[in-house]
Amino acid sequence: MARTSIPKYRKQKNKSGDRAFVELGGVRRYLGLYDSPESRQKYGTLIAQWEASGGHLAVRPEEITVNELTARFWTFAEGYYVKDGEHTSELSWIKSAVKPLAELYGTERAADFGPLKLKTVRARMIANGWTRKAINARVVCWSTDFCAGRDCS
């Protein structure tokens, strides 16, 4: 699995004082006043937790966003879709399949993603030139245990 770089300690300009933040899993985590000992300590703690959990922070299942969920799936996929020490072409397919999902619903809670939103994502895929057959085959495989024990590629 490829090692990702450590997210940077960053500054957001603000009239009442610059704020420190770090972006983890597509979400800004505010740390306090920029360059304060407290913000540096919070940054160190978050990065330690992030590294210890494989590049993800612990989150309650009902609060996880679509972006966080797809990032965690991507970490799994990078280790799973490997043949003879090389990543398979499945990774590029997954990346392109997840793109419309992230564009439309990335910041929403995964728990709020339902059939109507899935139809919207599917419509976007169709508009991008995907065939219904390919889309539906993937949706069935990713959303159920239908593929348990069989190859759905």
Beta bridge partners of 83: 86
Q: How far apart are CA 12 and CA 8, in angstroms?
A: 13
Q: With contact defined as beta carbons under 8 Å apart, do 91 and 81 qualify?
A: yes
Give me the mean pLDDT over the 17-38 stretch.
89
- pTM value is 0.58
Nearest to 91 by CA among 75, 76, 77, 71: 77
Give the single-character DSSP code of 123: H
Residues 64-75: tens digit of each pLDDT = 889 888 888 888
> What pLDDT, on a 0 to 100 scale, did the predictor assign at position 72?
81
Q: How far apart are CA 52 and CA 91, in angstroms?
A: 24
Give me the mean pLDDT over the 23-39 stretch.
89
Q: How far apart are CA 123 and CA 49, in angstroms?
A: 38
Give me the mean pLDDT over the 9-24 stretch.
90
When pLDDT is cut at 50, 70 and 90, the band that residue 146 belongs to is very low
When pLDDT is cut at 50, 70 and 90, the band that residue 147 belongs to is very low
- Backbone φ/ψ region at 149: left (φ over 0), alpha (ψ -120 to 50), beta: left
Give the single-character DSSP code of 112: G
Beta bridge partners of 24: 27
Residues 80-100: tens digit of each pLDDT = 889 998 988 888 878 888 888
**Which residue type sits at 42?**
K
